[in-house]
Structure formats: structure tokens, C-alpha cells
Chains A and B, each alone.
Chain A
Amino acid sequence: MPILLSIVVGMALFFMIGFVARAILQAFAPAHLKPTFRDIPLTASFGLSVILLYVVVAIFAPMIAPFGEGEVLGAQFLPWASPYYLGTDKLGRDMLTRLIYGARNTVGIAFATTALSFFAGSFLGIWAALAGGWLDQWLSRFVDALMAIPALILSLLLLTIFGTSVLTLILVIAAVDATRVYRLARSVAQGIVVMDYIEAARLRGEGMWRLVRREILPNAMAPLVAEFGLRFCFVFLSISVLSFLGLGIKPPTADWGSMVRENATLITFGDITPLLPAGAIALLTVAVNFVVDWQLHRASGLKE
């Protein structure tokens, strides 16, 4: 019965947020964005509002959170009651506070990582497809070699070499992810570089940067954006795995991945608290993919 109830409440919330967000977007959008939001589906407006919520929480974390990030407040594993609305974790830190700070770390790092891996991966991939010949061979075989090493082992290796900090974490996960993006971007671009308009642009004497940016990238956008939505979610996974091994985000900094693991024992007692950070990841994943799907539909010109 509670499951049924929560599904009903969840659906109701989804529709409510979706409708309200759509109404707000349509009412207050600047004139040049009006057509974009006119046919926005409910899923996308819901996704946008969830992402917006996460961003707000991440930016204003210190103001919203009731306690300090690493503050040990009382007994471990306290139940949900005032002043610890979501209880405490295994060290007695406030769960709600850590969830809020977790948004800052996890989402920020995931976004930076994915953005970086996409920038590097797609630029190199398109460049390889465009240049062909030995450059393509060298880059592609190098990437193949990297992909042959299991991603986790490669990141462990790199983190051990370069030391652990948030910056190296971002760079390492981005580098490992960029190999996958490179493969995708290269294969998509290979289909585009044979088009007459690329030949025309080359004959015009356009430089490499312009060819990649204006001629190829806009046409390769749809599959890349779809991949972005997916990759973004995998990064959470990588971060939490690395944190588990002690090479990721270091305690007491909060991140959702490690929070699930640290408090996992509670599950055996029928407490759903450890699922909250997992739920936060899941909700963001769904939201991002809703928005990505919407963008994909617009990019591919599909009307239905």
C-alpha cells in the first residue's frame, strides 16, 4: 500500500511540477526563446525544474544546510526527527546537511568532468575524422590502447601517479571518458566529412578549427548530446567507486556515492535513509535525460 501511495504521489508531483514549470517558462521566457518553449513537453519542463533546483541547492548549500558539512552532532544512525529531519549517519553527522553539500560536490564534479571529456573527446574525434591518414591512425590506435585497459584500473593507475585531489579526479575521469566520446565523435564525423559541403568548405580554404566548429559539430550534435546525458550519469558511478577505494572525494567532504555506501548497513534494518542519496542521483539522471531527449527531438527536427 505505501508503495502504491508513493507512486501516486510521485506522479502527481511530476505532473504538478511539469505543468507549473512549463507555465512559468512560457510566461517569462525572453522573446527570442519563446518559440523554443512553446512546444516543450511536460517531461522536459519537469527535468529543467529539477536541474534548476539542484543548481540552486548546490550554489547556496552553506545557507540552506542547517548544520556544517563535516560536523559531528550526536549519536549515529538517529531516526528521522527534529532537528535531524533525515536522521544522522554512521558518524552522527546530519544526513540532510550532507545531502545538500553532496549536491555541490557530486553534481559540480560530474558536470565539469563530462563537459571536459566531451570537449576533448569530440574535438579530437572530429579532427581525426577530418584529417584522416596517419594522424587518425595514431590517435585512434592510442585511444584503442587506452580503451583496452579496464576503465577502473586505468583511473586507479593515473590517480596513483598524479596524486588525489578534486582537480586530478576530474581530469582523470574526463580522460578515461573522453576515449568513449572520441570513438563516437569520430564515427559520426566520418559520415559527415564525405559530404559535399565539407569538400566545398575545404576548397574554400577554411582552417581546421572552423571546419570542426561550424561545419561538422552542428551536424554531429544530436548523437553527442544523447551520449552526454548518459555519460553524465556514469560519472557519478565512477566518482563513488573511486571514493570507496579512497582515491576519490576525501572525507569529510560529502558526496552521494560514498553516502550510499557508508550507510548501507541501515538497509538491513528496513531504513530507507541510505536510498536518499541514491534517489538524488536517480532523480537527476532522469531529469537530465528528459531534457536531453527534448533537445534531441528538436535537433533532429522530429515533430512527433
Chain B
Amino acid sequence: MEEDPLLTITDLRIEGRSGELWHPIVKGVNLTLRRGEVLGLIGESGAGKSTLGLAAMGFARDGCRISGGSIDFDGINLRTAPEAQRRSLRGKRIAYVAQSAAASFNPAHKLIDQYCECPVVHGVTPREQAEADAFELYRRMRLPNPEAIGFRYPHQVSGGQLQRAMTAMAMACRPDLIIFDEPTTALDVTTQIEVLAAIRDIVRQFGTAAIYITHDLAVVAQMADRIKVLLRGHEVEEADTRSMLAAPREAYTKSLWAVRSFARAERPPATGTPVVSVRNVKAGYGAVDVLKDVSFDIHHRRTVAVVGESGSGKSTTARVITGLLPPRNGEVLFNGKVLPPNFKVRSREELRQCQMIYQMADTALNPKLRLRELIGRPAEMYLGLKGKALDSRIRDLLALIELEPDTFIDRLPSELSGGQKQRIGIARALAAEPQLIICDEVTSALDQIVQEGILKLLDRLQAELNLAYMFITHDLATVKSIADEVVVMQRGVVVERGPKAALFAEPKEEYTNLLLSSVPEMDPDWLNRLLAARAGQ
């Protein structure tokens, strides 16, 4: 006999408010989830994944409302059930794990207090038993010192550990359903593996059903039994993981799969004076040396990717090159000439030659200035353009980044999408006509399809304008597609550097190998194989 599904969502419609108007976010999605099954929800941002995930708890965010359809959880209609009944379900039978554990834990309470809150409030177990249970779950989540870690405050444990503690917390009442909303997106690849493995094991051990929301296909391939693809509030297709990966039916799904295929051949090695040469740099804040001994070169028309975990000193290196952080030791050469260590004493010409593109375009563009001024200012300042000449230069730049000048020139950043904002960041850097552009995680806040567009654009511009790129990233897929050379950093030291192809084919250092092998692959057996291989070592 076919068992009743745990969760049935039929023709769900959710609307969000902007001003006086309600516009649809989720436009009639059906979803069924059996007990113990893991469903992966994927799609770009704005596809309605998170909204749908929250709706599975009978919850709509502020400014959103569920306007149609039904949500049936184990025989309870969550749309019509009274709020008190819904509240009694949340945390107890349906739990939620948020993207940023660091932002979701209350910083004023110890982890274990937050763990115990839910079982005690719902009257599932008394406090002592809940604590004992917490130790057990912390152990199963492979947290170090499971008996002690609960007595720390959230800021005293690392991001990966917090994310696992949060999953343990969600498990506290042994719910029937857990909703994971991008639980590993904010983590480094090496940490991601541990969290993924821990989540998957615990979900299987307790037979919990889960909805796993992510935009990372390779991650969902490891976690989910079935995958549902969403696009702008519609379902594109749904199938079990293996058949979906093997043979996607819809064009949109195929395009998602194809994104990872953009790769540029490595350019031949360059000779001559490098544009930038970092020599034995040692730098840090206060008493701490973030960079211990960093040296590398960047040549004309080449992209050097600097990779490493967070805290390895990638961004600090960029700050040394731009002059924001004068090094304690060592020097930075630009076209063979030593650059003054502090940007304040650099000449305007020296400043012009080295431009920067930031990770968060939202905070990198002044929200009150129009694009005309945002892009035009460097051109006006460095090149002395005025009036008509400036206007036509701004239009050229907009055309260069593939935005229609007449439509965009007088817009504010808030009137642009994430990808368009990042393009403006690029245009602003180009306006100065630099030789070197430092790209600090420029694609990591963007969807994969948008990322692809930005990478292709950067690549085209490099060929046209003879630029050198320093590409800071933790995403090795990006490195594979765009880099010529790779510099691997760990704890302030360059562990290994070399041409992309050679480094990916035969990493010499153990750390490089660990980093490379931690990048999720689309193969659903990848995580099993990797864990087996690592256990065997």
C-alpha cells in the first residue's frame, strides 16, 4: 500500500507586496514529499525557493501572503489551521535551518541554551534530558568536544561548526521535516564537505524528510533523492536525482547544467616585466601578521587567480597592492617600479593604473549617485574629460559592458539587478583605463547564469583592452574557467603557484590537493567516494 505523503502542496500561490501592489512570487507550484525523503529545490535567486521552503511551514515572510492553493502536512491543513496549532508544529515537527547560522543564532545565549529551548518549550523533554541529547547530537554531527562546545557562545565557534550546531538544534525534537535553506552557501569548500556529510548522515539516521534549498547543483546532487527546478515562481521540472543529472528534459535545466562548461584555454606564459610583482610581503593588523611571506607576479593580459579559504589572506594581499594596508616588510612593484606603500602618497597616475572591483556591488556603488556620475567620475578625474567628451565616453563604457546607454545612463544603482550592478563596478574600473584590475570575489554573490555572463565579459575585455587581472576567489569552478595562473594561499603563505592546467592536473602540495578535491562535482556518488577515499588515507 502506498504510504500517505508527509507533505503535499497543491497549486500554491504566494504574493509579495511592493508599494500598493501585490505581485506573484510563487505561481502555482505542486510538491509532494514522502517520509524520509530529501527533495532538492534549485533555481536562481528570485525563483521563489526560500519562499516556498517557508511556506512548507505554513509561514509567509513580512510583506508576503499565501494567496492560493493548499499546504497539507501529515493531515493538517497549514493554511486553515489556527496560528496556535501551526506554532506547536514549528520546531517540533517541522524545523528550519537558515543560510547564515552566524546571523540566526542569538549572540547573547550559549549554544546549548538555544538548543534546549525548543524541546523544553514544546514539552518534549525536560531540560536535563535535552542537554544529554544535545551532547549526543553534537557527537553525531562530528563537532569537536561535544560535551563542551554547547557551553560556548556563537561567536566562539567557527562558521562550519555553527552550521552543524544549528542542524543539531533543528533535530532536537526529532522533527518529521527539516527545511535547509542554503546551509552551506556561506562556507568554504573544505568546510562545506564536513557539513554536507554531517547533514546527510543525520537525516538518514533519523529518517527525517528534508527540503534542501540551494543554487549549487553539485551540492544538491549529493544531498537529494529528487530534484525540483524552479524558475521565476514556476516549476520547470522534477525528477529523481540520477535521471535529472543524466538527462535533463527542459531547456532551462540544460542551460543550468551547461553553465559550468565555460572555460577558456590558458594563454601562453608571458615574459618581460610583470605589471605587478609582489615581493616577500609581510603585513597584518595590530599584533597579528595576516600575511607572512607572499610573493607572486602578474603579467600583461593574464589572469592570476588567488585562491584559499577565508582567512588565508587573499583580500589582505589586495589591500597591500592597492596601498590600503602598508606592508611591514617587502614591496610591491608596478611595471618594475616600486610603488609607495601607502595609497595616500601615490600619484594620481599610480592610482589610476590599479583599479578594484568589489564582491558586493550593493555596497561598492554609492546608492545616491546616478550611473552617469558613478562611471563618469574616474574618467573625469583621471583623463580630464568634460561635457560632450565625457558623455560619449560614459556611453561607450556602458556599451562595453553590454548595457543600453540611453536606458541606463540616468539610473540609480537601486534600479539595477545584481548582475547589472556588478557590470557597473566593472565599467567604473575600466573608466580609469587601468593596466591591472583586482577582482575581489566578484562573482560569488551572483547566480550561476549571471556569473557566467560576468566571467565572459571580463574575459572579452581582457583580450580587447590588454588588462591584467588579479582574481581573488574561493570558488574553484571560477578559477578553472578564467585563470591563467593560480596562487594557492593558506594562513598568509603562498602554498603553491603555477599555471592553471599543471596545477589542476598535478597539485604538488597536500593543501592544494585538499582544496581541489573538495569542490563538489555533479556526480551523485562524489561525496561517498571522497569520504571513502579520505577515510582510507
B368 touches A203 (CB 8 A): no
The 8 Å CB contact of A203, one of B356, B360, B373, is B356
Tell me which residues across on chain B come within 8 A of A214, comparing CB atoms.
Answer: 366, 369, 373
**Distance of B268 from chain A, by nearest CB (Å):** 32
**Distance of A122 from chain B, by nearest CB (Å):** 15
The 8 Å CB contact of B364, one of A200, A204, A304, is A200
Q: B414 within 8 Å of A by Cβ?
A: yes
Q: A32 within 8 Å of B by Cβ?
A: no
B366 touches A218 (CB 8 A): yes
The 8 Å CB contact of B381, one of A197, A205, A221, A301, is A205
**Nearest B residue to A202 by beta-carbon distance?**
B343
**Distance of A108 from chain B, by nearest CB (Å):** 31
Query: A196-B358, A218-B369, A219-B368 given as contacts; is B351 within 8 A of A203 (CB)?
Result: yes
A215 to B432, CA, bound (A): 18
Q: A148 within 8 Å of B by Cβ?
A: no
Q: B363 within 8 Å of A by Cβ?
A: yes
Q: A199 within 8 Å of B by Cβ?
A: yes
Tell me which residues across on chain B come within 8 A of A218, comparing CB atoms.
Answer: 366, 368-369
Q: 0/1 per residue, B253-295, Cβ < 8 Å to A?
A: 0000000000000000000000000000000000000000000
The 8 Å CB contact of B363, one of A196, A203, A303, A304, is A196
**Nearest B residue to A217 by beta-carbon distance?**
B368
A215 to B365, CA, bound (A): 10
Tell me which residues across on chain B come within 8 A of A202, comparing CB atoms.
Answer: 343
Interface positions of B from 362 to 408, Cβ below 8 Å from A: 363-369, 373, 377-378, 381
Q: A195 within 8 Å of B by Cβ?
A: yes
* Tally of A-B Cβ pairs under 8 angstroms: 52
A204 touches B377 (CB 8 A): yes
A196 touches B343 (CB 8 A): no
Interface positions of A from 199 to 224, Cβ below 8 Å from B: 199-206, 214-215, 218-219, 221
B351 touches A205 (CB 8 A): yes
A197 touches B363 (CB 8 A): yes
Q: B301 within 8 Å of A by Cβ?
A: no
Q: B348 within 8 Å of A by Cβ?
A: yes
**Distance of A115 from chain B, by nearest CB (Å):** 21
**Distance of A189 from chain B, by nearest CB (Å):** 14
Tell me which residues across on chain A come within 8 A of B502, comparing CB atoms.
Answer: none
B324 touches A200 (CB 8 A): no
Query: A196-B358, A196-B360, A199-B324 given as contacts; is B381 within 8 A of A204 (CB)?
Result: yes
The 8 Å CB contact of A301, one of B366, B414, B428, is B414
Q: B19 within 8 Å of A by Cβ?
A: yes
Q: B241 within 8 Å of A by Cβ?
A: no
A196 to B324, CA, bound (A): 12
**Nearest B residue to A220 by beta-carbon distance?**
B368
**Distance of B510 from chain A, by nearest CB (Å):** 35
Size range of the chain A interface in the assembly: 10 to 19
Q: B322 within 8 Å of A by Cβ?
A: yes
Tell me which residues across on chain A come within 8 A of B358, comparing CB atoms.
Answer: 196, 200
Q: 0/1 per residue, A218-255, Cβ < 8 Å to B?
A: 11010000000000000000000000000000000000
Tell me which residues across on chain B come within 8 A of A219, comparing CB atoms.
Answer: 366-368
**Distance of B59 from chain A, by nearest CB (Å):** 22
Chain A interface secondary structure, helix, strand, loop or mixed? helix
A203 to B368, CA, bound (A): 19
B428 touches A200 (CB 8 A): yes
**Distance of B399 from chain A, by nearest CB (Å):** 22
A303 to B18, CA, bound (A): 8
Tell me which residues across on chain B come within 8 A of A195, comparing CB atoms.
Answer: 363-364
B366 touches A215 (CB 8 A): yes
A231 to B358, CA, bound (A): 39
A301 to B428, CA, bound (A): 25
Tell me which residues across on chain A come within 8 A of B381, comparing CB atoms.
Answer: 204-206
Tell me which residues across on chain B come within 8 A of A215, comparing CB atoms.
Answer: 366, 369
**Nearest B residue to A205 by beta-carbon distance?**
B351
A197 touches B19 (CB 8 A): no
Q: 0/1 per residue, B414-431, Cβ < 8 Å to A?
A: 100000000000001000
Tell me which residues across on chain A come within 8 A of B432, comparing CB atoms.
Answer: 204
A205 to B348, CA, bound (A): 7
**Nearest B residue to A216 by beta-carbon distance?**
B366
**Distance of A197 from chain B, by nearest CB (Å):** 4
**Nearest B residue to A219 by beta-carbon distance?**
B368
Q: 0/1 per residue, A177-203, Cβ < 8 Å to B?
A: 000000000000000000111011111
**Nearest B residue to A304 by beta-carbon distance?**
B19
Tell me which residues across on chain B come within 8 A of A205, comparing CB atoms.
Answer: 343, 346, 348, 351, 381
A202 to B324, CA, bound (A): 9
Interface positions of B from 334 to 354, Cβ below 8 Å from A: 343, 346, 348, 351
Residue among A203, A206, A214 facing the most chain B CB atoms (10 A cut-off)? A203
A128 to B366, CA, bound (A): 20
**Distance of B446 from chain A, by nearest CB (Å):** 16
Query: A203-B324, A205-B381 given as contacts; is B365 within 8 A of A197 (CB)?
Result: yes
**Nearest B residue to A299 by beta-carbon distance?**
B368
A204 touches B366 (CB 8 A): no
Q: 0/1 per residue, B311-347, Cβ < 8 Å to A?
A: 0000000000011100000000000000000010010
B351 touches A204 (CB 8 A): yes
A30 to B367, CA, bound (A): 26
The 8 Å CB contact of B356, one of A200, A206, A221, A303, is A200
**Nearest A residue to B413 by beta-carbon distance?**
A197
A2 to B377, CA, bound (A): 62
Tell me which residues across on chain B come within 8 A of A303, comparing CB atoms.
Answer: 18-20
A195 to B19, CA, bound (A): 28
**Distance of B415 from chain A, by nearest CB (Å):** 11
A180 to B358, CA, bound (A): 35
A304 to B324, CA, bound (A): 41
Query: A203-B351, A204-B351 given as contacts; is B369 within 8 A of A196 (CB)?
Result: no
**Distance of A128 from chain B, by nearest CB (Å):** 18
B378 touches A204 (CB 8 A): yes
Q: 0/1 per residue, A28-58, Cβ < 8 Å to B?
A: 0000000000000000000000000000000
A200 to B356, CA, bound (A): 8
B364 touches A196 (CB 8 A): yes
**Distance of B65 from chain A, by nearest CB (Å):** 15
A90 to B447, CA, bound (A): 76
Q: 0/1 per residue, B188-218, Cβ < 8 Å to A?
A: 0000000000000000000000000000000
**Distance of A185 from chain B, by nearest CB (Å):** 16
B366 touches A197 (CB 8 A): yes
**Distance of B90 from chain A, by nearest CB (Å):** 29
A203 touches B322 (CB 8 A): yes
Residue among B18, B20, B343, B368 facing the most chain A CB atoms (10 A cut-off)? B368
A1 to B231, CA, bound (A): 64
Tell me which residues across on chain A come within 8 A of B368, comparing CB atoms.
Answer: 218-219, 221
**Distance of B182 from chain A, by nearest CB (Å):** 23
Tell me which residues across on chain B come within 8 A of A221, comparing CB atoms.
Answer: 368
Shortest beta-carbon contacts, A-B, top 3: A218-B368, A196-B364, A303-B19
* Interchain residue pairs with CB less than 8 A apart (25): A195-B364, A196-B358, A197-B363, A197-B364, A197-B365, A197-B366, A200-B356, A200-B358, A200-B364, A201-B366, A203-B323, A204-B351, A204-B432, A205-B343, A205-B346, A205-B348, A214-B366, A214-B369, A214-B373, A218-B366, A219-B366, A219-B368, A221-B368, A301-B414, A304-B20
